[in-house]
Structure 1
Amino acid sequence: MSTPREGHRLPGPPAKETDRDVSDHATDPSTEAFLAHRNLLFTVAYEMLGSAADAEDVLQETWLRWIKVDLGQVSDERAYLVRITTRQSLNRLRTINRRKESYVGPWLPEPLLTAPDVAADIELAESMSIVLMLVLETLSPTERAVFVLREVFDIGYDEIAAAVDKTPAAVRQIAHRARRHVDARRPRSVVSASETRTALQSFRRALESGDPQALLDVLAPEVVLVSDGGGVKRAALRPVIGAENVVRYILGGIGKTDATITIDPTVLNGSPALVFRLDGEIDGVMAFRVEDERINGLYFVRNPQKLTHVESETPLTLR
């Protein structure tokens, strides 16, 4: 992360500004404009990167560039800020992709504890879901940027072209290709939060009872479990495929600890999820993919570096 010059540090913690903090810092038009769009910029960066820590770094880099801009030459502050954020995100995304090459085991997006209004916004919740963000991982950096800006934030082709240094015609082609790629891999239908909660409640009860058959009843036969320990916590180095294999893996892992395990419902990335605690300390979080009332995807994040945003809400917005 770039080190800010003295006197130019990004005001306060990302996306968690209090009214007093804003009034303390909002002494110039640049700061006011940045704070007005801060949650949007964080959401853009997070959607592109799948990492809250890297999104925060991008916001810092965006801020350092923004304070050097002559506002008299800026006709649309929001568009200009999104453009800076996109360019910095693209630079960071290429770095992240190189980092993933040496990552131990599967890589999952960093989960965020989200406010109820995110879950209520179907469009935002779907775009933030772990399932969709994993699909976005299969796009090239430029394809991901174009897809996110166009499909998630409904930004015009001309603005996107300026952000990714392409012509509008090229951006249209990239957007079409990325949309087709994502549509072929995303869930066939959108499942309601209530349907997901029902499946999670059944899964949680079965897990707490330790009953293998009860777990098999709630899992689809072709279920896949992906676990991310980052080489720090125990996790499968490859996806676990098939209901019986998933049940053996989960119950086997629980049986290898003498700690008191608690499993509580939460909302991550706008969707119902579970948080696992060992002796009161967060050990991991699990997101789910549900189809036809059964769970066919489990995404278990245990890497401690990815669990820093699951206890306090992160404000997000598409606007």
Structure 2
Amino acid sequence: MISMPLIHSRQKGFILVITGATLWGISGTVAQFLFHYHHFTPEWLVSIRLLISGFVLLVLANALAKNRVFSIWKNRRDILQILFFSILGMLAVQYTYFAAIKHSNAATATVLQYLAPVLIAFYLTFRYRRKPSNRELVSIILAIFGTFLLVTKGSVDRLTITGVALFWGLLSAFALAFYTLQPLKLLAKYGSMVVVGWGMLIGGVSFSFIHPPWIIQGQWSLHSILAVCFIVLFGTLIAFIFYLESLKYISASETSVLACVEPLSAAFLSVIWLQVRFGIEEWIGTLCIISTIMILSTVDKKNIIKLHQKLEPFHRNVLVFLILKE
């Protein structure tokens, strides 16, 4: 018999991850509101979001584990890794995602970014020279079909979004795949709050040389001020902390499946609040892409054992996190 405290803990984990993922989805729609209605730029929003969120995360990390926050700068190899992660991972994910929203809408941009797990499956298949499983093949087909419906509405002779929006959306998926795979050694050594905190702060400082945060392009009002505060506080810091906290109560594979609430919340809010046109084809395409995560999160036990024997230790985390269910 399952004890009541265990049930309550699992319920707490479900609530935390669903809330965090919903906040992520809402923040994308709020960003669309800033871009389309108040004429803010992705460049400024990326800079300010990364700088503030990174600084606060590092302050929190320092309060929890003082010795680990700055120890990352004592190893030359770790320094190079955190710099790569900050620029090609964190900054790239943030900018490409917001650029995709700017040129389309939050729903489309978020769903396209969720192609990342399929890209990771591709990488792991070639990296460890194994044949893709039937489930991976089904996921790839669903991802391709879902993307086709999302960007064409089923018509082969036209796009329902601009080529620029499609470019940024797909680039966002590749950036997220790199963001997930690249820092695994750092995560195992220093913890996610330290790595993500430095990634955000370094990414924000680096991008400030391209677009200084004090150069603001946009129309300030009470609504736009609240929107920026929501993105930084609830859509970044609280969402991230909730997601991490959920891992204490439920498995990583469960959190990855429940995190599918993010594109759904972005889609629903875009349609209801910002009057984005989202037809039956887009909804089917969205569900096809989201279903790939659920499929990739339920791999056979035998395949896990065989694959784990081939993997370097630090690569096993990503399989549990996004693809495999132990």
Fold match, TM over 0.5? no
TM-score (norm 2): 0.30
TM-score by length of 1: 0.31
Of structures 1 and 2, the larger Rg is shown by 1
Higher RCO, 1 or 2 (CA under 8 Å, sep at least 6)? 2
Specify which structure has the higher proportion of helix: 2
